[in-house]
């Protein structure tokens, strides 16, 4: 079973490396040539965590190894209700998936969002990522059914999944 900690700014390098590895594992075979991860590098992923100072990130650890993380915040979508929080990233290394680690990370993020008085949580999911869609549905999130935005960095299409918390 994993242990969880809140990330600190000194975790940025490890988180960036983990994020990059998880991106490659997650999207291998999902993205066509017109949509790729060429916009990402280990360095860009590390820099993303350095800029954010690792605020609102929960890390999952197994035997002192970082195996996953979940990042959350107030909803960034200007059209969202003010009481809406957002799961911005959740990644678990492929070899540690399907053992409950992702569920535990989501539950912990939802707990922190509730403490911040959010009543609803959303997350954006690439429609072709059927594993993520199934995971969110299992966690009680429902898709709104509309492709709402395209990530300008990657060209990934995204659908909102939401649930009351």
Is position 36 within any domain?
yes
Antiparallel, parallel or unpaired: β 84-92 and 120-125: parallel
Tokens 């291998």 sit on residue? 28
Query: Does residue 145 fall inside a structural domain?
Result: no
Cα dist from 85 to 36, 55, 110, 120, 140, whole Å: 28, 14, 8, 6, 15
pTM value is: 0.90
Looking at the domain assignment, is residue 59 inside a domain? yes
List the domain range (segments joined by +) for residue 114: 3-118
CATH of the domain at 112: 3.40.630.30
Q: Give me the pLDDT at residue 27, please.
A: 83
Domain count, the chain: 1
**Res 32: pLDDT:** 59
Which of 45, 153, 40, 23 lies closest to 91, judged by CA?
23
CA nearest 163: which of 124, 119, 114?
Answer: 119
Position 35 scores a pLDDT of: 54
pLDDT of 58 over the 60 cut: yes
149, part of any domain: no
Measured distance CA(96)–CA(49) in Å, rounded: 22
> What pLDDT sits at residue 22?
95
- Give the per-residue pLDDT at 165: 95
77 within some domain: yes
Q: What local confidence, expressed as pLDDT, does residue 158 receive?
A: 84
In a domain, 20, yes or no: yes
Residue 10 falls inside a structural domain: yes
Express each pLDDT in 71-125 by its tens digit. 999 998 777 778 999 999 999 999 999 999 999 999 999 999 999 999 999 999 9
pLDDT digits 0-9 by tens, 11-45: 999 999 999 999 989 887 776 554 567 778 999 99
Residue 89 Cα distances to 49, 68, 127, angstroms: 12, 10, 15
Q: Is residue 154 part of a domain?
A: no
Smallest CA-to-CA distance from 77 within 153, 151, 164 is with 151
């Amino acid at each position: 079973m994993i242990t969880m900690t809140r990330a600190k700014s000194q975790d940025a390098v490890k988180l960036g490396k983990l994020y990059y590895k998880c991106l490659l594992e997650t999207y291998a075979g999902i993205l066509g040539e017109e949509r790729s991860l060429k916009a990402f590098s280990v360095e860009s992923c590390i820099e993303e965590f350095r800029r954010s100072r690792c605020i609102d990130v929960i890390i999952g650890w197994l035997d002192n190894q970082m195996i996953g993380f979940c990042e959350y915040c107030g909803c960034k979508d200007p059209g969202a209700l003010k009481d809406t929080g957002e799961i911005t990233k959740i990644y678990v290394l492929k070899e540690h998936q399907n053992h409950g680690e992702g569920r535990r990370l989501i539950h912990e993020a939802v707990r922190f969002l509730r403490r911040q008085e959010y009543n609803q949580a959303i997350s954006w999911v690439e429609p072709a990522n059927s594993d993520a869609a199934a995971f969110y549905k299992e966690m009680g999130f429902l898709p709104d059914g509309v492709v709402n935005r395209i990530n300008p960095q990657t060209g990934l299409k995204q659908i909102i999944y939401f649930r009351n918390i």
